[in-house]
Amino acid sequence: MATTTHAAARIPLPIETCWQNLRDLTRATDYVPGLTNTVITTEQKEGLGASRIVSHQQFGDMNETVIAWDEGLGMTIRLHKGDGPAKPFKNAEFRYEFRPSARPEAANQDECEIHTMMTYELPGGILGRFIDRVFARRILGRNVLDTAVCLAENYTTGKPVDHTRLAELRKNAL
């Protein structure tokens, strides 16, 4: 049984500008907390089937392959290790999606929202579900939130995010 966790943050830029940033798959280290390196592993640099290896401080190296590419709006990546699942998952996907700002006062402004979502399943059957409820869901939910607010900060400033500011940046979540 899969678990889904999601978060969102406001970005004071039009969706088109944000999409141009997101489609560059090498930029993840500028905003994803814990990532130390990103290497594109396919000839294709963007779009469906493009793949990269990311190095994460907590989870080590893992592959990320684009399994859905919604031009101008978002993408979904599968987290894996070679042909198998990325540890600690049985399966996992991460979704980035831009939406128009929900704020009525933003209707005529260049503003959008980034929505991040992770759907995953831990191995181990009933034990895996217990670990998810007690422990993993909080950690992974925090990672999804941190990715949303750090992406918003990075796109707004154009600079890599100082992750020591996470507590402050979390206040920008929707």
Per-residue tokens: 50: 């493009």
Per-residue tokens: 124: 């181990």
User: Can you tell me the mean pLDDT for 78-100?
Assistant: 94
Supply the DSSP symbol for 173: B
User: Can you tell me the mean pLDDT for 116-132?
Assistant: 93
Q: Is 163 helix (H, G, I), strand (E, B) or coil?
A: helix
Average pLDDT of the residues of the chain: 93
User: Above 90 in pLDDT, residue 22?
Assistant: yes
